[in-house]
Structure 1
Amino acid sequence: MSTLCRAPSWQRRGFSLKYILFTPKPPTRAFSTSPRGPGLRSLELDEPRLKKLKVNQSRLMDELHHTCQWGTGERWGEQGTETGMRRLSLSDADKQARDWFVDATKALGCNISVDAMGNTFAVRPGRAQGAPTFAGSHLDTQPSGGRYDGILGILAGVEMLRVLQENRVETAFPIGVVNWTNEEGARFPISMMSSGVWAGDIPIGHAYALQEVGGGTATVKSELERIGYLGILPASYEAMPMAAHFELHIEQGPILEKEEQKIGIVKGVQAYRWYTVEVIGQEAHTGTTPFGSRADALLAASRMICASHTAAADHGALASTGILTLSPGSVNTIPGKVKFSLDIRAPSDNIIDKLEKHLKSDFDSIVSTESTKALPLSVTWQTDSISPAIHFHKDCIAAVRASANSVLGDEALSREMVSGAGHDSVYASRRCPTSMIFVPSRDGISHNPKEYTSPGDCAIGAEVLLQSVLRYDGLRSNVGN
């Protein structure tokens, strides 16, 4: 376990974990999203002003790489920025990145709230009171991840706030950026954990009790306390409501790059389920036990993993195993117990249901085939996570589409997509209108130190995010909520 960290700088200065409040100087109205006519027409009239709001590409990338000093991972190239990231949730490095986020957004006129799951909300006031329109993502990474997954979405949100400040933009309603805790599920094994608690779908007691993977004893709650991010604001959509949630993210796949397109307009997220499968056999000596007298748990598990790939392909789905543990772990002992993770994904819940049924039947058959009367094997399933297929909100999708066309100037450079990966927008969409923006990933690589998106593509995505949030704010102003 890491050593005890100092409290965040903002907490040491005496601010509350629930709300950090101050009164920013009212902006001079150089740009406004106030209504100018019915429906979306007012947004069209403000189109020339929207187009004048430009992100600073150099600043965006400098700040992104600056924050990557906390949790720098494996080096893959010669340049200073050519490293991956290892910033596990609630680690010392995560705390340092969180502190930077709080200080940076506070300096931009935001009110800061930290909830009971450590979710951190930076809100810039608008002319009227109301739930903020948020840009959101996460600062935690995979154990061997890259510099863009999640991180780009947060840094683009901060850049959005900088552009609004520099241009003295006054929005109709509050605008915010949220950093969600433990999106990756790499250290504490529930992905999108804290947005799930916020949405009311994951019990906070269950989340608090999760222990870190790899045999450590730290829990989510103990680490929130240790790094100083156990807020007193309830982790709930009722305590921190959102008018909408937009998320900029790298695609994590090859489609945009292959098709030479710049923006993915994300309509939804495919369904997925995570399982832990346990196979029990019998330990025995490798040199004295004939094949016919073995109950080899690893051999059975390996056949199950292969069968999962075959079945998934037959159903038009995907199946993967990323964690495999066995005992006793000796060269000359046949494994008697094996656990492996199983991740299955498909465009619809119906396909997932059929694939799960198929796999359970296949795994039972494998156990039956590999067992003998004297040495039976067994298999058990534990469902760890269920994420149904998600369909995003039409108004948010329309805002992203209009913004992509405005920034790119060519509809052929964007495309509608369904995300193959889960994101915090999955849970956000259950409580507020939501959509996502994808930018290309070089070679489709992600969850890898070599993950890369060009500075130009990062800036395009950030500009689409900026416009999307402002368009939605304008739409809210037009309809009066």
Structure 2
Amino acid sequence: MTETYTESNRTEVRINSERLRRRFDEFNEIAATEKEGVNRPSLSDANREARDQLVEWFEKVGLETTIDEMGNIFGRRKGQNNDLAPVLVGSHVDSQYFGGRFDGVIGVLGGLEVVETLVNAGIKTERPIEVVSWSNEEGVRFQPDMLGSGVFCDRFDLEYAYGRCDKDGKTFGEELERINYRGDAPCEPRDLHRYFELHVEQGPYLNEEEISVGVVEGVYGFSWMNVSFEGQADHAGPTPMHLRNDTLVAMSNVVESVRQITATTGTDLVGTVGSVDVSPNSINVIPESVEFTIDFRSYDNETVQTAVDHIQNEIQWAGEREGVEWDVEEIMRVDAEPFDDTCIETVKRAAEHTNVEYIQMVSGAGHDANYLNTICPTSMVFVPSVGGVSHTEDEYTEWEDVVAGTDVLLHAVLQESDGR
């Protein structure tokens, strides 16, 4: 029997925890690591296998599957009025190299579970509901991150995205073709009613407070920079210290400056040097060149800009002190913007209806929701990361928290898809 979602049955419907767990465990057998993580970087063979499994499940649940030009996968459940804009839910299934099982995956599988719960309960929503798996959210193989949602939201040009190269010189476009996930549907903005994303927090706050759900008000803005120094290689023994042009020394000065800037600029500013490539990388040769990244984040856009201005000065001074050439390029900038108040209230009501304790919070990590927030009302549901750990094989979330977050997602979707 099919019925329209009403106030009388909203508190009765719940997700199927066992079904979601079986699907989660089966999915994470794909490219599982010895330390109970996963290794499914974007457009790898393992990522293709994960995509294939997802499409199979979409079709088994009865979703109409569409793949766009960026390999974003959409599964659509029709509503009673398909002229209405859909409610979109989802996240990503690509992983960091040797990353965690929960990051991104619970948002996609949780969205699928929401739809299957509605199907099995005989609840037909007024609006269509779509579940999406975005391409290249992590940005670990092809930079920048959030590439699929970025093109979809008109942040990046399609050809720019296709031309992104990994360290082996393979382009995103070529690899998308190779794994057979370059779809025909246009990757461009379209009318969406709401976007909700379930995700692990990737930080310590929910875990420390012993609270199952975070209602996310917004996401930190950030700047990614690529920095290089070019000096002179020479023998580590005979070369006097005053005649050296050591690029690694220049870099170490900048690394120290990143820490000093975060300590003196803004209360929530964080900064990281996360990737370093040194040449010739030999124990007895003075480093001739070094390339590294800098990541600054804050919920205040002016704070991020101040940090960027300061570190650019420090890069110049470090290069001049060591007598090496330097170059700095900002490869990614995302502004901090609050999520939609209506969506935030929807998630809060959903948490209250499922009797789960929650707090309102800001995300320090970037998500596809950043970009969706620029084209439609958006919010997120967080669940705890044990120990605040993420982007490693040690990432873990208690299953009861995954269930609580997915139930909140379910009721948020129900509120927004019933035609009101």
- TM-score, with length taken from structure 1: 0.85
| Structure showing greater Rg | 1
3-state SS, counterpart of residue 458 of structure 1: helix
Q: 1:414 offset after TM fit, Å?
A: 0.8
Q: 1:367 offset after TM fit, Å?
A: 2.3
Residue pair 1:31, 1:167 contacting (<8 A) in 2 also: no
Q: Which residue of 1 aligns with 2:2?
A: 29
Candidates 120, 125, 134, aligned match of 1:180 = 134
Candidates 81, 104, 122, aligned match of 1:128 = 81
What letter matches 2:240 in structure 1? P
3-state SS, counterpart of residue 267 of structure 1: strand
Report whether the alignment pairs 1:449 with 2:393. Answer: yes
Q: 1:29 offset after TM fit, Å?
A: 2.4
Separation in 1, partners of 2:272, 2:104: 22
Report whether the alignment pairs 1:314 with 2:274. Answer: no
Separation in 2, partners of 1:408, 1:188: 41
What letter matches 2:391 in structure 1? H
Paired residues for 1:142-221 under 5 Å: 142-213=96-167, 216-221=168-173
Q: 1:193 offset after TM fit, Å?
A: 0.5
Q: Which residue of 2 aligns with 1:119?
A: 72
Q: 1:31 offset after TM fit, Å?
A: 4.3
Q: Which residue of 1 aligns with 2:194?
A: 244
Q: 1:259 offset after TM fit, Å?
A: 0.9
Q: How many residues align?
A: 417
Report whether the alignment pairs 1:334 with 2:307. Answer: no
Separation in 2, partners of 1:234, 1:259: 43
* Structure 1: gaps spanning 5 or more residues: 1-27, 34-45, 76-82, 371-375
The Cα offsets for residues 200-229 of structure 1, whole Å up to 9 and x where unpaired, read as 11111111011113xx13211111111111
What letter matches 2:78 in structure 1? P
What letter matches 2:106 in structure 1? L
Separation in 2, partners of 1:59, 1:167: 14
Residue pair 1:114, 1:229 contacting (<8 A) in 2 also: yes
3-state SS, counterpart of residue 472 of structure 1: helix
Paired residues for 1:15-414 under 5 Å: 28-33=1-6, 46=7, 48-75=8-35, 83-129=36-82, 130-213=84-167, 216-238=168-190, 241-316=191-266, 317-370=269-322, 376-408=323-355, 413-414=357-358
Separation in 2, partners of 1:127, 1:202: 34
Separation in 2, partners of 1:405, 1:313: 38
Separation in 1, partners of 2:181, 2:214: 34
The Cα offsets for residues 177-200 of structure 1, whole Å up to 9 and x where unpaired, read as 000000000111111001000001
Residue pair 2:93, 2:104 contacting (<8 A) in 1 also: yes
Residue pair 1:74, 1:449 contacting (<8 A) in 2 also: no
What letter matches 1:313 in structure 2? A
Separation in 2, partners of 1:313, 1:449: 30
Q: Which residue of 1 aligns with 2:359?
A: 415
Separation in 1, partners of 2:171, 2:67: 19
Q: 1:243 offset after TM fit, Å?
A: 1.6
Worse-matched range after superposition: 218-227 or 244-253: 218-227
- TM-score, with length taken from structure 2: 0.97
3-state SS, counterpart of residue 50 of structure 1: coil
Report whether the alignment pairs 1:461 with 2:405. Answer: yes
Q: 1:365 offset after TM fit, Å?
A: 2.1
The Cα offsets for residues 420-458 of structure 1, whole Å up to 9 and x where unpaired, read as 000000111111110000001100000010100011000
Separation in 2, partners of 1:53, 1:313: 48
Q: 1:368 offset after TM fit, Å?
A: 2.6
Q: Which residue of 2 aligns with 1:10?
A: none
Residue pair 1:144, 1:448 contacting (<8 A) in 2 also: yes
Residue pair 1:135, 1:177 contacting (<8 A) in 2 also: yes
Residue pair 1:138, 1:150 contacting (<8 A) in 2 also: yes
Separation in 1, partners of 2:25, 2:189: 32
3-state SS, counterpart of residue 93 of structure 1: helix
Provide the alpha-carbon RMSD of the alignment: 1.2
Separation in 1, partners of 2:33, 2:335: 32
3-state SS, counterpart of residue 254 of structure 2: helix
Residue pair 1:392, 1:433 contacting (<8 A) in 2 also: yes
Residue pair 2:5, 2:414 contacting (<8 A) in 1 also: no
What letter matches 1:113 in structure 2? T
Residue pair 1:74, 1:84 contacting (<8 A) in 2 also: yes
The Cα offsets for residues 224-246 of structure 1, whole Å up to 9 and x where unpaired, read as 111111111110113xx322110
Candidates 470, 474, 477, aligned match of 2:414 = 470
The percentage of counterpart residues that share the same residue type is 35
* Structure 2: gaps spanning 5 or more residues: none
Separation in 1, partners of 2:112, 2:407: 12
Worse-matched range after superposition: 143-152 or 324-333: 324-333
Q: Which residue of 2 aligns with 1:4?
A: none
Separation in 1, partners of 2:112, 2:185: 22
Separation in 2, partners of 1:217, 1:192: 20
3-state SS, counterpart of residue 274 of structure 1: strand
Residue pair 2:37, 2:394 contacting (<8 A) in 1 also: yes
Residue pair 2:216, 2:362 contacting (<8 A) in 1 also: yes
What letter matches 2:394 in structure 1? K
The Cα offsets for residues 6-49 of structure 1, whole Å up to 9 and x where unpaired, read as xxxxxxxxxxxxxxxxxxxxxx324425xxxxxxxxxxxx0x41
